[in-house]
Amino acid sequence: MADKPDFKQTMNLPQTDFPMRAGLSEREPHMLRLWDEMDIYKRSLDVNAGGPTFILHDGPPYANGHIHMGTAFNKVFKDLVVKYKTMRGYQAPYVPGWDCHGQPIEHQVERNLGPERMKTISRTELRALCREYALEFVDVQRAEFQRLGVRGDFGDPYLTLNHEYEAGNVRIFKTMYDRGMIHKGAKPIHWCVRCKTALAEAEIEYSDELSDSIYVKFEFTSRPEAFAQVSEPVSVVIWTTTPWTLPANVAVTLAEKADYVGVRVGGDVLVMAEALVTSVAAAAGWVGYEVLPQRVKGSELAGLKYRQPVHDGVEGVIITGEHVELTTGSGAVHTAPGHGEEDYLVGRRFGLPMPMPVDDEGRFDAGGGPFAGMQVWEANPTIIEWLRERGTLVAAGTISHSYPHCWRCKRPVIFRATEQWFVSMDEAAQGVRPLREGAMDAIGKVEWIPGWSVNRMSAMVGDRPDWCISRQRAWGVPIPVFTCRTCGETVANDSTFDAVIALWEVEGADSWFIREPSEYLPAGTACPRCGGTDLKAEQDILDVWWESGVSHTSVLEARPELRRPADMYLEGSDQHRGWFQSGLLTSVGAYDEPPFRSVLTHGFIVDGEGRKMSKSLGNVVSPIDVVAKSGADIIRLWACSADYSQDVSVSGEILDRTSEAYRRIRNTFRFLLSNLYDYDPADAVPFDEMYELDRYAMVSLADLVDRVTAAYDEWRFHMVYRHLYDYCVVDLSSFYLDVLKDRLYADEAAGHGRRSAQTVLAAMLGAMVRLVAPVLTFTSEEIWLSMPEALREGAASVQLSGWPTVDVPAADAARLRAAYATVLAAREEVTKALELARSAGVVGKSQEARVVLVAPQDTITVLRERGGRELADMFIVSEVVLVVGEAPASAPAAVTVEPAAGSKCPRCWNHRTDIGADAACPDLCGRCARVVSAL
């Protein structure tokens, strides 16, 4: 067989080193090094020096353990926002932070030490170990966040254990204290009488415990009206499993709307919930009893008095509350505000006293009356016996139920009121606006994204009780006040606060536990009550939410590159309760304004079924695994593709789909790159001189830029993804780029047609790489570095290259959009007809076809205006015949397909009738002959 000329050599086939296979997990670390070398963070600030600033303030994750999908998602989102803003011309510093104090770290350190060593260690030593532990995980998480491509000041992050940070706590405390928003009070907390310590909820282990279960009658001293006529004494019956709390009883709580009845039994009339009479009777073993006909609502009994069960001559009061259940007990709840959370809350609502007769070791003091000196657990049987003797015990038994235990000693814990510090929601000094009012007002000034977020925030701030900010622990920032050793008075004023600020700025909060107050307080600091000068530093520490809350001062105010208020806080929806609120309250408390201009909230990461991820369900997806297997850009693309305003699912299938989408996007870029290997912007064809199809492509590119930019600006990131992806698939791959291949490959390399196309491809590449850069941070940079130097416009990184604009004349754009809507609709009919012809064996590839298209006049006119050759190119067929006629009702045109006339050009593979027209190239079509001859 004769040698066929190798026409491939004469064509402009794609060339690129940009690999189809990403190999992200290997490639990404190289990119990180490159950014490190060029100091990308600093350059991202320098590039917009003097421009407007955008401050996204990082909420500090807890420095404990590795990152999980939720933290990864959150950080990627922040990075996306920061990078977008940078590219839009804002100076967008990003200072990552970590929350380093708190019970979980202290708890873990204590576990690691073990109980024996723990006993021998000082508070200062324990704090040093906690610090070490926290810093270790700061390093771990820092590396993990950076691996995700997050750009920020990782060399100098903010840590809540830094000295300046610690001092910031005092600045806010000082202001709020001065403004009368901070007060001392009492509140029940979990307390272990053996370890003599307060316990956090996380330090409580619940297990079944056998408790006493007793019913006790409290005799009314003011008889209910309904029972005025009965001759017997009338009492209310309560049920409790903690007899030892009876000395602290001050009230009985009834259900407001429930029916209560009197039961005549054994010479008494006992009042209880009607619904529970049978069960009380069973517990008491009553054989004969009579339910009186009178029925009263709980609310009707409210306000009546009864004899306190332990203390003679003392009365308690009947109140109503929502927590009263009618499933167990008697429907009348013994209420001791010092010994229970609900009792405490209802007690506060009714202004009840809060007696607390139990000391640190669990012994009754004088307030225990006859039981003074007894330990509460020992007292239980004694109390029961005592009640029996008094004749007030209605029934006694035992019950097995879930009860809290101390994680250290495994003993049951008690609930006990202790002295605590509070931020008042509704009280403040004269002339100062109360915090709740100010905070509600501030909420209205903030942009909440998504909109429902404001409801959640308002509801929480509107309802919340005073904020208890003290914790009885070691690892944290002390409450910066003093107590007079002589009289117990609190000593705190501007000069003591300032002294503490000065001390902590230099030595940190550790100094609090090392130095004596006299060493750093101004000489002459004395108790305002007794004049004593022997002062003791407060031992309680601040709630960690307070600590992270004051970052608006410790970070935003302290760092020159930042400012308060921030433009945005961006966290998961749980932070309505946490950081959003602690930031808001401390900021309003100190400055009367919110710390943020906007708050963006995202949902939680759940599995493919919408369930939370947990080890026990076995559905946990680790970002570290995904990075190792697929790359950080896959996580980033996934994060961007989901609607964050609700919970976000992740699963193997979802990540597979994401990877497929990634490959599609990557390949689109690869195609663009591979057809620009010989293009120089100097070859650019002006818009007006472009092929019409290319002008239309420019219009659709401009539309894409508009849509994507709007999506970013509206914080609808999943629409960024969707627009970009659909553009790649629908506009480019299946239409424009497919059509362009013939021109790019077969036209003369430097000819007008090919340069016109390349001008568009270059515009697409330059715009798209920027549009995806905030999301696909690694891939976009890889693309950037693969672009011809001249297209990079001098930017060392795509992150520094600014935001794309594509200008097309508006009138042209409108005309082209309309015309090409018709073209594309017709094209759809053509592809359907081609498919039928293909399955009938009439044609194989579309170039082998000649199509006859019948459509109404106006359609035909539009199609004809494009030009016959151009239309055939756009349909990727060899010839189009346009006929005016009736189109079917369901379609814009009727299309029939026939084999193309002429024969296949061996160079461009089109079927042409002008093969051999040029004698010099007898095999080729006219176009190819012309191109080849010119070589």
Partner RNA sequence: GGGCCCGUAGCUCAGCUGGUUAGAGCGCACGGCUGAUAACCGUGAGGUCGAUGGUUCGAAUCCAUCCGGGCCCA
Return the residues of window 708-737 that contact RNA according to CB under 7 A. Answer: 716, 718-719, 722, 725-726, 729-730, 732-735, 737
Least gap, CB of 20 to RNA (angstroms): 5
Which residues, numbered 884-913, are part of the site for RNA (CB under 7 A)? Answer: 906-909
- One character per residue 585-604, x = contact with RNA (rule: CB under 7 A): ------------------xx
The CA-atom distances, in angstroms, between 303 and each of 235, 299, 300 are 14, 9, 8
Q: Tell me the three state secondary structure of residue 610.
A: coil
In the complex with RNA, which residue's Cβ is closer, 706 or 835?
835
- Per-residue contact string for residues 197-236; x = within reach of RNA by CB under 7 A: ----------------------------------------
- Our CB check for RNA shows the closer of 173 and 725 to be 725
**What single letter denotes the amino acid at residue 383?**
I
Is the separation of the CB atoms in 684 and 763 below 8 Å? no
User: Which residue number, 517 or 603, has a Cβ lying nearer to RNA?
Assistant: 603
Contacts (CB under 7 A) with RNA, residues 19-38:
20-21
Nearest 5 degrees, angle CA 869-CA 874-CA 879?
45
Pair 894, 852: CB distance under 8 Å: no
Closest separation between CB of residue 876 and RNA, Å?
A: 7
Q: Is 923 in the site for RNA (CB under 7 A)?
A: no
Using the rule CB under 7 A, is 838 a contact of RNA? yes
Per-residue x/- mask for RNA, residues 794 to 833, rule CB under 7 A?
Answer: ----------------------------------x--xx-
What is the footprint of RNA within residues 443-462 (CB under 7 A)?
A: 452-453, 455-456, 459-460
SS (H, E, C) 907-918: CCCCEECCCCCC
Looking at beta carbons only, is 659 or 777 nearer to RNA? 659
Q: Hey, which residues between 554 and 573 contact RNA (CB under 7 A)? A: 572-573
Task: Give me the residue label for tokens 């939410």.
Answer: 545
Alpha-carbon span 107 to 202, nearest angstrom: 9
328 binds RNA (CB under 7 A): no
Query: Which one of residues 845, 868, 885, 913 is an interface residue with RNA (CB under 7 A)?
Result: 845
Q: Considering the complex, what minimum distance in angstroms separates the CB of residue 777 from RNA?
A: 19
Query: Which of 52, 528, 531, 608 lies at the binding interface for RNA (CB under 7 A)?
Result: 608
Residue placing its CB nearer to RNA in the complex, 321 or 589: 321
- Tell the smallest beta-carbon distance from residue 605 to RNA (Å): 9
Choose between 387 and 425: whose C-beta lies nearer to RNA: 425
Among 541, 642, 800, 849, interactor with RNA by CB under 7 A = 642
Rounded least distance, CB 716 to RNA, Å: 7
Q: Which range binds RNA by CB under 7 A, 144-152, 353-361, 490-498, 668-676?
A: 668-676
The three-state (H, E, C) secondary structure of 542-603, written as one string: ECHHHHHHCHHHHHHHCCCCCCCCEEEEEEEHHHHCCHHHHHHHHHHHHHCCCCEEEEEEEC
CB atoms closer than 10 angstroms to residue 601: 22
**Phi–psi pair at 365, nearest 5 degrees:** -95, -165
Tokens representing 407 are: 């994680």
Residues 403 and 163: beta-carbon distance below 8 Å: no
**Per-position x/- string for 455-494, each x denoting binding to RNA as judged by CB under 7 A, each - no binding:** xx--xx----------------------------------
**Residues 5, 14, 185, 532: which binds RNA (CB under 7 A)?**
14
Alpha-carbon Rg for the chain, nearest whole angstrom, is 39
- Give Cα separations from 292 to 296, 302, 559, 760 (angstroms): 11, 20, 73, 92
DSSP 686: P
CB closer to RNA out of 468 and 806: 468
Task: Compute the least distance from the CB of residue 338 to RNA, in Å.
Answer: 16
Residue from the set 290, 516, 738, 807 that interacts with RNA by CB under 7 A: 738
> Total residues at the site for RNA (CB under 7 A)?
80
Q: Which stretch in 177-185, 420-428, 608-616, 877-885 sits in contact with RNA by CB under 7 A?
A: 608-616
59: which 2 tokens?
């909420």
Is residue 654 close enough to count as binding RNA by CB under 7 A?
yes
Least distance between RNA and beta carbon 198 (Å): 16
841 burial via Cβ count (<10 Å: 0-12, 13-18, 19+): exposed
108, 486, 493, 646: which one contacts RNA (CB under 7 A)? Answer: 646
Least distance from C-beta 505 to RNA, angstroms? 32
Residue 351 burial (CB < 10 Å; 0-12/13-18/19+)? exposed
CA angle 235, 239, 245 (to 5 degrees): 100
Task: Give yes or no for residue 674 binding RNA (CB under 7 A).
Answer: yes
Q: How far apart are CA 555 and CA 157, in angstroms?
A: 10
Position 641, amino acid: S
Out of 600, 648, 757, 816, the residue judged to bind RNA by CB under 7 A: 648
Between the CA of residue 3 and those of 7, 874, 921, what are the distances in Å? 11, 33, 15
Least spacing, CB of residue 742 vs RNA, in Å: 7
Q: Write out 274-294 in H/E/C secondary structure.
A: HHHHHHHHHHHCCCCCEEEEE
CA–CA dist 580, 570 (Å, integer): 9
> Quick one: 668 or 700, whose CB is closer to RNA?
668
Q: Which amino acid is at 174?
A: K
Q: Between the CA atoms of 598, 604, 608 and 614, what dihedral angle is there, to the nearest 10 degrees?
A: 160
Q: How far is the CB of 342 from RNA (least distance, A)?
A: 5
> For residues 142 and 96, what is the distance between their CA atoms, to the nearest angstrom?
9
Tokens of 205: 């282990």
**How far, in Å, are 106, 349, 471, 582 from residue 103 at the CA level?**
5, 30, 9, 17
List the interface residues with RNA, window 342-361 (CB under 7 A): 342, 345
> Do residues 264 and 277 lie in contact, with contact meaning Cβ atoms separated by under 8 Å?
no
Q: Is 758 one of the binding residues for RNA (CB under 7 A)?
A: no
Paired tokens of 298: 């709980």
CB distance 871 to 851 below 8 Å: no
Among 11, 302, 399, 825, binds RNA (CB under 7 A): 11
Q: Which is nearer to RNA, 12 or 483 (CB)?
A: 12
Shortest distance, CB of residue 746 to RNA, whole angstroms?
5
- Residue among 308 and 659 whose Cβ is closer to RNA: 659
Which CB sits closer to RNA, 447 or 498?
Answer: 447
Cβ proximity to RNA: between 359 and 923 the closer is 923
- For RNA, which residue of 534, 647, 692, 898 counts as binding (CB under 7 A)? 647
Subset of residues 60 to 79 that bind RNA, contact rule: CB under 7 A = none
Question: Footprint of RNA on residues 107-126 (CB under 7 A)?
Answer: none
Q: How far is the CB of 489 from RNA (least distance, A)?
A: 31
CB of residue 457 to RNA, shortest distance in Å: 9
The stretch among 557-565, 665-673, 678-686, 761-769 that binds RNA (CB under 7 A) is: 665-673
Distance CA 58, CA 72 (A): 13
Count Cβ atoms below 10 Å from residue 338 Cβ, excluding itself.
25
> For RNA, which residue of 475, 745, 778, 820 counts as binding (CB under 7 A)?
745
Helix (H) or strand (E) holding 605: strand 605-606
Q: How far is the CB of 43 from RNA (least distance, A)?
A: 32
Q: Interface with RNA includes 610 (CB under 7 A)?
A: yes
CB of 666 to RNA, least distance (A): 9
Closest CA to 881 of 901, 905, 906: 901
Q: Residues 6 or more apart from 111 whose CB is under 8 A from it?
A: none
